[in-house]
Structure 1
Amino acid sequence: MSDPALGLTMLGLFLFFIMLGFPIAFTLMAMGVFFGYLGMGDRIFDLLVQRTYAVMANDVLLSVPLFVLMGYIIERANILDRLFRSLQMASGNIPGSLAVATLVTCALFATATGIVGAVVTLMGLLAFPAMLRAGYDVKLASGVVAAGGCLGILIPPSIMLILYGATAGVSVVQLYAAAFIPGVLLASLYIGYVIVLAIVKPSVAPKLPPEEVNIPFRMILLNLATSFFPLLSLILLVLGSILLGLATPSEAAAMGSLGSIILALAYRAFSWEKLRESVYLTARTSAMVCWLFVGSYIFSSVFGYLGGQQVVENFVTSLPLNTFTFMLLAQAIIFVLGWPLEWTEIIVIFVPIFLPMLDDFGVSPLFFGVLVALNLQTSFLSPPVAMAAFYLKGVAPKHVRLEDIFAGCMPFIYIVIFTMLMVYVFPGIVTWLPDALYGNDPNAAPVIQMQGPPPGGFQEDEIMLPPIR
């Protein structure tokens, strides 16, 4: 069997094994080492050691456990409960006020944590029953909670953008700047859809009773001052320090973790038990990310070395594609992959297949990354997998059917696709803020990144790692 055939066989067997439920990271490493040994002999073990060391020593990935710790501490400090109650009071006169408050809470909390499962689960316990008690349509309430909880994939400081930056060799700082406006736009379109639907069809989102609407302004302001503004200040401090170049993502994440502990202490919700749980969950999540990166780098290096990457690239470039049709094909493949796979696997395994082709079609990796982040919203919402729907089903009342949750997610999937079209037609939505902050100077934003395998993979005489910038 030729080397390219070995590479394609490796990719096919990998998809087969993950469909059987094998652990992704260790399947990647096992497949990479096995086929690498067939293709390059004992040198595969040198590559294994080098890749493991490169991932563990990477400065960008250091921010992942710190941001995750920040999110888990905020989650366990009951800040979300306070935030939702205050926003519910503040939005009482807006059509669909409970759904609007839910989406704003999800957007803010997703910004603070970036952990989709945590946001959907907590809002499923807090906001979902409140909407059902108020007479909201089950499908609308389900879609609001599921879609709102996925915003952390896109809105900075997003863990997904950190992983994409490390995979694609793109500045995480510039990715944050590029994704900020699209993230706010998507959340705004969600809110606009709910308000219009509540006006056109009031039965799906009834008005709240007068006693829950006619609340003194001073009480509303007091609640916002004690819940909304402290969390907003922490988010702006973390994100602003990154975008303005005052701190690297890792330094800002450390500052955010400390700020979350201070908030928990201020709310008298801090305990050693909660800290221990947060640290344990952070360690588990970080270990998963690191080993996934090790496995994916070994797999992609061997795949490229065997010529599999070149076969895929030659096939795509041989098709009569222009920039639009290439982007449409790439995003359609990522959309379909979102059904059986999680976003981490798509980012570290399949996105690198497209990265070497971007230059051929004149596509910026920065722009491509934001479109991917938008697209991955759908991977949590579209059946048959739809992890956000399953998270919600796990905490929803028994009478709420999974079919209703799926149906409620569909309008929000259409909004995501519409947003992707807007971003493609008006690329300034992505490029304006990075250009305004950093211009064309590549040194204006900190570039702390890890290069992946070079296009086409490693050749026989260059198994050693490329330098880490």
Structure 2
Amino acid sequence: MSDPVIGMVMLGSFIFVILLGFPVAFTLMAMGIGFGYLAMEMRVFDLLVQRTYAVMANDVLISVPLFIFMGYVIERANILDRLFRSLQMASGGLPGALALATLATCALFATATGIVGAVVTLMGLLAFPAMLRAGYDARLAAGVTCAGGCLGILIPPSIMLILYGATSGTSVARLYAAAFFPGLGLALLYMLYVVIVASVRPGAAPRLPPEERNVPVGTILLALVTSFFPLALLIGMVLGAILFGLATPSEAAAMGAMGSILLALAYRALNFQRLRESVFLTARTTAMVCWLFVGAYIFTSVFGYLGGHHVIENIFVEQLSLNTVTFLILTQFIIFLLGWPLEWSEIVLIFVPIFLPLLDTFGVDPIFFGVLVALNLQTSFMTPPVAMAAYYLKGVAPPEVRLTQIFAGCLPFVGIVIVGMAMLYIFPGIATWLPSYLYDHVQSGPVQDLMSIPEGGFDVPELPDLPPLN
């Protein structure tokens, strides 16, 4: 059996074992070491040490635990209830006001946390019952909660974009700039859909009673000043520091972590118990991400050493005779299908690197490709059988709400994501204009240095610097 064939068997075996429910990170390491030993013998253990050290030495990944910590502290600062109530009062006169307030709260809170499970669960406890009590259709309420909670995958500061940047060797600042308008546009498309449904089918999203719509302007402004603006200011400072080259993503994440502590103190919501929980959850999540990174490094390095990338390139370039448009459509369709059984982290760290070496061949900007992937991965949380957002919501939803209703409510929003991807295909400037405007005129100097991150992609066809066999 030739090395490329072993590589494809390795990939197929990994997918089969993952579908059986084995832990992803350790399955990756076991597959990489097992198949690597067939081709490299004892050198595969040197590879294990090298790749583990590479993850530990990657400066870009420092921002991951800091952003996660920022999210967990804000989650425990008890500001979500105030934020939702203030946005509900502000949108009280609009059709589908509760759903619009839910989406706006999810967008802002997802931007602050980036943790899909936390946002969906908290909004499932707060906004979902409120919509049901107001007479909303359970499917619409479920779809709004799940879709809004998933926005943190795309809207900066997204953990997914950090991992993609570290994987592809692209600038995280450029990725954030490229994802800003697509993320905002997707949230607006969700809101437009809610307004249309509420206008065409008023029974699916009844208007609020007059006493909740006719709130004095001063009361609304006071609620916004004490809930919306502090969090928006924190997020704006973090993103602004990154986008305008004032700080690296890691430095901005440290600012955000400190800001979240100060915000929680201002709301008198920080105590030792909550701080300890935030630190514990941050350590647990970071360990999971880093072990997944180590496993993906080993797996993709061995896959490239075996020639698996050349097989994929031969299929895409020679046998299928794809052009740039058909390549993008096919790769995104594959990622969409992978979102059914797999989570976004597995797709980004394992399967996206398989396509990265082909981007130069088809003339695709890796920044644009990363935004497409982030937009596409919204569906991975909403499409069964995995559909983790649906399961998060089901765990906190009233017993009478069935899982099939939640799935049915998510499907229209999956369709909206596909519409958003089509718009991005037709008008790529939605993603490319802002990073080009901010950075392309910079030729040298400290801003250019801040935008750069170390090269460290997964496309490793050879393994130099390994010691010879004894």
User: Shorter-chain TM-score category?
Assistant: over 0.9
**2:206 match:** 206
CA separation in 2, counterparts of 1:32 and 1:201? 53
Unaligned runs of 5+ in 2: none
Contact 1:177 1:243 in 2 (8 A): yes
Q: 2:342 is aligned with what amino acid?
A: L
Contact 2:353–2:459 (CA<8 Å) still a contact in 1?
A: no
Question: What's the CA shift string for 1:226-270, capped at 9, x where partnerless?
Answer: 000000000000000000000100011011011111111111100
Displacement of 1:7 after TM fit? 1.0
State which drifts further: 147-156 or 21-30: 21-30
Q: 1:446 aligns with which of 451, 458, 462?
A: 451
1:452 Cα deviation after fit: 2.1
* 1:442 Cα deviation after fit: 6.5
> What does 1:78-227 align with in structure 2 at a 5 Å threshold?
78-227=78-227
Equivalent residues of 1:58, 1:450 under 8 A apart: no
1:375 maps to 376
Aligned to 1:467: none
Distance 1:226-1:307 versus aligned 2 partners, 3 A rule: same
Q: Deviations over 1:172-214 (max 9, x none)?
A: 0000000000000000110111111111111111011111111
Structure-2 residue corresponding to 1:356: 357
- 2:392 matched to which residue of 1? 391
Question: 1-side partners of 2:312 and 2:52: how far apart?
Answer: 26
TM-score using structure 1 length: 0.97
- How many aligned residue pairs are there? 462
Of 185-194 and 443-452, deviating more is: 443-452
TM-score, length-normalised on structure 2? 0.97
What CA distance in whole angstroms lies between the structure 1 residues aligned with 2:360 and 2:205?
Answer: 48
Q: How does 1:394-413 map to 2 (within 5 A)?
A: 394-413=395-414
Residues 131-177 of structure 1 deviation map (CA, whole Å, 9 limit, x = unaligned): 00000011100000000000000000000000000001110000000
- Cα 1:330–1:421, aligned 2, differ >3 Å: closer, same or farther? same
Q: Answer whether contact 2:168 2:458 (CA < 8 A) is retained.
A: no
Mind listing any 5+ residue stretches in structure 1 that lack a counterpart? 465-469
Instruction: Determine the C-alpha separation between the residues in 2 that align with 1:453 and 1:178.
Output: 22
Write the distance in 2 (CA, Å) between the matches of 1:442 and 1:379: 38
The equivalent of 2:427 in structure 1 is: 426
Deviates further, 275-284 or 315-324:
315-324
CA RMSD after TM alignment = 1.2
Cα distance change of structure 1 residues 27 and 440 upon mapping to structure 2, 3 Å threshold: farther
SS at match of 1:384: coil
Look up the SS of the partner of 2:225 in the other structure.
helix
**How far apart are the structure 1 equivalents of 2:311 and 2:453?**
31
Does the 8 Å contact 1:374/1:420 carry over to 2?
yes
Matches of 1:297 and 1:434 in 2, distance apart? 28
Report how far residue 282 of structure 1 moved: 0.3
Counterpart amino acid of 1:458? E
Match of 2:60 in 1: 60
Give the Å deviation of 1:440: 5.2
Instruction: Report the alpha carbon displacement of residue 377 of structure 1 after superposing the two structures with TM.
Output: 0.2
Task: State whether residues 300 and 459 of structure 2, in contact with CA within 8 Å, keep that contact through their aligned partners in structure 1.
Answer: no
Asked whether the equivalents of residues 356 and 459 of structure 2 are also in contact (C-alpha less than 8 Å), the reply is no
Match of 1:311 in 2: 311
Q: Distance in 2 between matches of 1:450 and 1:396?
A: 44
Note the C-alpha offset of 1:450. 4.3
